[in-house]
């Protein structure tokens, strides 16, 4: 010191944080007894300040698991997002458990390969449902998860009832997940009514689209807290791939000059395959590839080909030029549309769910249930110069990379759970 006073060198006030779980706190457990201690960047001194020392890894309790409850583990959009979220959270050291209400499913081994424990309950009838609820309640008591996160209507309802049967533990947050917008009342009306009645139970309801949040509020959902978290797209998997493009086109008998439109969706009234097929029949200059369960049974025009369910859909997108979403209703956030854009395809989509948000002014956005308008948009895309079409596709990829990555989705889930009182 300039005045000759002897002062022991103070410890650093910016320790390195070692994490065993996201958001681990540091403990104030050491006091400096010198006459004063400098404050960071201020040139001022205060007496008897507590110094911060990073805690050893052994000081931290093991992170508490997240328990997900979903109707099944097939290859749909919700299941794909569950896998992406589990992958991101598992990589952060947060243990993930998944309860599937149907047996098997192609995403079960994918989750297990990530180190996620999969529990298949598969209830049958009312007695089976009751036994599954009791098993789920026992699992909640045994695991003491930080969060029980429901996915889709059945997953939401089972998670809510089992959480109550487990005693509604205060240190386990109940969260619901909504994955659609204006759903078919004839098929889902009873589930909607029950969901609306129980909607105050969860600490937070997470919708994957603004349209879905608005729709469920209009149906009587009154959650204590609702937030919108868009899906996260694996932009490393879905990307332009010239080698895969050439190989896949050769396998499918497509010439390099062909303009190829890809439509990826299971056969379901909400996906409006009838409208897509009508548009394809009016657009002979475009070759169509239909991917999804049930497409093999469709009667198609000569310029369209059904590929059925595929586990290599990223290769199909790589072979395409245009991604089509023809949905008539029910979509929340369309994974297929966003994945095709991430692969560098020009988007053509109906204005359903959050498609306008996903496109953000790119490609072609049209009203649902209009095969003539869909055909006109596809003819316009086919008439473009290949370079211009490719440039629009790359702009579409940049949109997805910038706004809808899986890490951003995981961060938003963690933030939503914490804001509702969880401590994962």
Shared domain for 84 and 26, answered yes or no, is no
Closest CA to 336 of 264, 258, 268: 264
Exposure string of 120-141, with b = 16+ CB inside 10 Å and e = fewer, is ebebeeeeebeebbeebbebbe
In a domain, 249, yes or no: yes
Note whether 199 and 205 are within 8 A (CB): yes
Shared domain for 217 and 313, answered yes or no, is no
139 to 98, 144, 148, 159, 163: CA distances (angstroms): 11, 8, 11, 11, 10
- On the CB side of 124, CA atoms within 13 Å amount to 1
Tokens of 352: 């359903």
Amino acid 125: pLDDT? 81
Residue 418, sorted as left (phi over 0), alpha (psi -120 to 50) or beta, turns out to be alpha
Closest CA to 381 of 320, 305, 336: 320
Domain boundary among 61, 93, 112: 61
Note whether 262 and 326 are within 8 A (CB): no
Shared domain for 220 and 88, answered yes or no, is yes
What angle in degrees, to the nearest 10, is found between the helix axes of 335-342 and 77-91? Answer: 60
Query: Could you tell me the residue range of the domain that residue 388 belongs to?
Result: 242-403
**pTM score, whole prediction:** 0.77
CA distance 56 to 18: 8
Domain boundary among 34, 61, 88: 61
Other CB atoms within a 10 A radius of the CB of residue 243 amount to: 9
Tokens of 233: 């797209």
Amino acid 1: pLDDT? 43
Shared domain for 284 and 331, answered yes or no, is yes
In a domain, 138, yes or no: yes
End-to-end CA gap in the chain = 46
What is the pLDDT tens value at each position of the chain, 424 positions in all?
Answer: 434 433 333 333 333 334 444 344 333 333 333 333 333 333 333 343 344 444 443 344 689 999 999 999 998 889 999 999 999 999 999 999 999 999 889 999 999 999 999 999 988 888 888 999 999 999 999 999 999 999 999 999 999 999 999 999 999 999 999 999 888 777 888 999 999 999 999 999 999 999 999 999 999 999 999 999 999 999 999 999 999 999 999 999 999 999 999 999 999 999 999 999 999 999 999 999 999 999 999 999 999 999 999 989 999 999 999 999 999 999 999 999 999 999 999 999 999 999 999 999 999 999 999 999 999 999 999 999 999 999 999 999 999 999 998 999 999 999 999 999 999 8
Shared domain for 394 and 414, answered yes or no, is no
Closest CA to 113 of 73, 152, 142: 73
In a domain, 424, yes or no: no
In a domain, 237, yes or no: no
For the chain, the domain total comes to 3
CA distance 368 to 232: 25
Shared domain for 87 and 224, answered yes or no, is yes
Phi, psi of 183 (to 5 degrees): -80, 160
Sheet strands (E) in 314-418: 322-325, 346-350, 364-366
CA distance 403 to 382: 27
Other CB atoms within a 10 A radius of the CB of residue 236 amount to: 11
Closest CA to 263 of 200, 216, 305: 305
Amino acid 61: pLDDT? 66
Amino acid 424: pLDDT? 85
Shared domain for 209 and 85, answered yes or no, is yes
Shared domain for 29 and 90, answered yes or no, is no
């Amino acid at each position: 010191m300039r005045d000759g006073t002897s002062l022991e060198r103070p410890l650093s006030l910016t320790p390195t944080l070692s994490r065993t779980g996201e958001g681990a706190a540091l403990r104030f457990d050491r006091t400096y007894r010198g006459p004063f201690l400098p404050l960071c960047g201020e040139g001022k001194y205060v007496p008897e300040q507590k110094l911060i020392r990073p805690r050893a890894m052994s000081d931290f309790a093991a992170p508490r698991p997240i328990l997900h409850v979903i109707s099944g583990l097939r290859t749909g959009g919700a299941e794909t997002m569950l896998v992406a979220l589990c992958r991101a959270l598992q990589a952060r050291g947060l243990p993930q458990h998944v309860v599937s209400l149907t047996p098997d499913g192609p995403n079960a081994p994918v989750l297990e390969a990530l180190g996620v424990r999969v529990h298949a309950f598969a209830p049958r009838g009312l007695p089976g449902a009751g036994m599954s609820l009791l098993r789920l309640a026992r699992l909640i008591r045994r695991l003491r998860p930080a969060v029980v996160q429901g996915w889709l209507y059945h997953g939401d309802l089972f998670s809510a009832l089992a959480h109550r049967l487990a005693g509604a533990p205060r240190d386990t947050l109940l969260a619901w997940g909504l994955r659609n917008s204006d759903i078919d009342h004839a098929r889902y009306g009873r589930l909607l009514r029950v969901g609306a009645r129980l909607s105050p139970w969860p600490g937070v309801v997470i919708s994957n689209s603004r349209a879905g949040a608005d729709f469920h509020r209009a149906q009587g959902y009154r959650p204590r807290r609702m937030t919108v978290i868009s899906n996260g797209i694996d932009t490393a998997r879905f990307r332009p791939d010239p080698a895969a493009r050439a190989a896949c086109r050769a396998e499918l008998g497509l010439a390099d000059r062909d303009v190829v439109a890809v439509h990826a969706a299971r056969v379901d009234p909400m996906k409006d395959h009838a409208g897509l097929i009508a548009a394809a029949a009016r657009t002979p200059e475009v070759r169509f590839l239909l991917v999804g369960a049930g497409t093999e049974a469709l009667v198609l025009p000569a310029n369209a080909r059904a590929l059925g369910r595929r586990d290599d859909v990223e290769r199909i997108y790589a072979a395409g030029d245009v991604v089509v979403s023809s949905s008539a209703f029910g979509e929340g956030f369309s994974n297929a549309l966003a994945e095709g854009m991430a692969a560098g395809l020009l988007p053509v989509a109906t204005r359903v769910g959050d498609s306008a948000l996903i496109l953000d002014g790119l490609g072609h956005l049209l009203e649902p249930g209009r095969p003539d308008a869909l055909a006109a948009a596809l003819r316009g895309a086919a008439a473009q110069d290949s370079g211009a079409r490719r440039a629009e596709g790359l702009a579409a990829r940049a949109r997805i990379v910038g706004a809808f990555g899986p890490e951003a989705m995981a961060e938003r889930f963690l933030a939503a759970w914490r804001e509702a009182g969880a401590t994962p």
